Amino acid sequence: MQGIYDGPEMSSALSQMKDPTKIALMKKVMGALVAKHSTPFDPQHPNGLHNFMHDKLLVVGATVATGSFNFSESAEHNAEDILFIRDPKLAHTYATYVEALVARWRTPKV
């Protein structure tokens, strides 16, 4: 398994979670992925620099899951969506994209 997540945004989402089982699962998933260190959006400066990751996708075999749904508590109450696409060629394209993101944001383990 490999992947990437937005470090500051996920930390914020994790701090909102109340279910200990969900928190433990998210920490386990985060431990297996690369954290992208981004500049979060600042509502006080909406035109300021921010580079948080807004992509949400998962590739499992020949299936791509993508959409606006994220792992925050608010996502469970908002009008979020998720789309499952079963297409080996598209899954391969997305997997290659994720590999490039991981390579770009991986920090050397010291």
Measured distance between the N- and C-terminal CA atoms of the chain, rounded to whole angstroms = 21
**Does pTM surpass 0.75?**
no
Among 19, 29, 98, which residue's Cα sits nearest to residue 65? 98
What is the chain's pLDDT, residue by residue, as a tens digit (110 residues)? 678 888 887 888 888 888 999 899 889 988 888 888 887 777 888 887 777 666 778 899 999 988 877 766 777 777 778 899 999 999 999 999 989 988 888 865 54
Neighbours of 7 (CB within 10 A): 19
pLDDT score of 1 = 64
Task: Return the domain boundaries, the chain.
Answer: 4-105
